[in-house]
Amino acid sequence: MAETVQTGVAAGKPAGKSKKMIMILSVVVLQLVAAYFLVAFFLRQSGGDTQAAENTPAAPPAQVNRGASADPNFDHVYVVKDLIVNPAGTNGLRFLLTTIGLEVTSEETVKELEKRDVQVHDSIIGVLTSKTLPELDDMAVRDSLKSSIKVAINQELTTGSVMNVYFSKFIIQ
């Protein structure tokens, strides 16, 4: 009888460990499958946006769906995507993430902005980094910020000009 008890206990431990191991492996596999599908979903979404942007002029998607109320002069927009800057006085501890749409007078101006992409980024970064967090948070100052960006970029252009500046993303962290 003593032998039966010892054999049962010895046999029970590996069975318990293997059950735990199976449970852990199944949880890990489920997490990997979920991660795969999430990554595939987000890559498919971002890949579709990139392909659409390459095949159409740089205009906001809402423009296509506005119908009769669409502004006929809103044809030429140059988008500066995902600029990250440190506002003045933050010592690099805070940042601003923004996407800016520049409405310009002609297709030639869009092409010039594409050629001068580095200068455009530098001008915008210069304006944004000169502002403090309270200035960036204030909606009244945001209009003057748009004007400052417009003036800074118009100084760089030789053909056409920037008519309006739009923030499609403005995140302060």
pLDDT (average), residues 156-160:
88
Q: What is the pLDDT of residue 8?
A: 47
Q: pLDDT: is 43 or 173 the higher one?
A: 173
Q: Which DSSP symbol is given to 88?
A: B
Long-range CB pairs of 158-163 (<8 Å, 24+ gap) are: 158/112, 159/106, 159/108, 159/109, 159/112, 160/104, 160/105, 160/106, 160/108, 160/109, 160/112, 161/104, 161/105, 161/109, 162/102, 162/103, 162/104, 162/109, 163/73, 163/103, 163/104, 163/105
Q: What is the pLDDT of residue 44?
A: 66
Summarised one tens digit per residue, pLDDT across range 15-44 is 678 888 888 888 888 787 777 777 676 666
As a whole number of angstroms, the distance between CA 17 and CA 13 comes to 6
Confidence of residue 49 (pLDDT cuts 50, 70, 90): very low
pTM score > 0.85 for this model?
no
CA-based nearest residue to 77, from 56, 53, 104, 115:
104
Summarised one tens digit per residue, pLDDT across range 55-106 is 444 444 333 333 333 445 557 899 999 898 988 888 888 888 999 999 998 8
Share of the chain above pLDDT 90, in %: 21
Overall fold of domain 61-172:
Tetrahydropterin Synthase; Chain A (3.30.479)
Q: Which DSSP symbol is given to 132?
A: B
Q: pLDDT: is 52 or 119 the higher one?
A: 119
Q: What is the pLDDT of residue 118?
A: 92
Q: What is the pLDDT of residue 19?
A: 86
For 59, the 3-state DSSP assignment is coil
Measured from the Cβ of residue 167, the count of other Cβ atoms closer than 10 Å reads: 13
Confidence of residue 47 (pLDDT cuts 50, 70, 90): low
Can you give the residue ranges of every domain in the chain?
1-55, 61-172
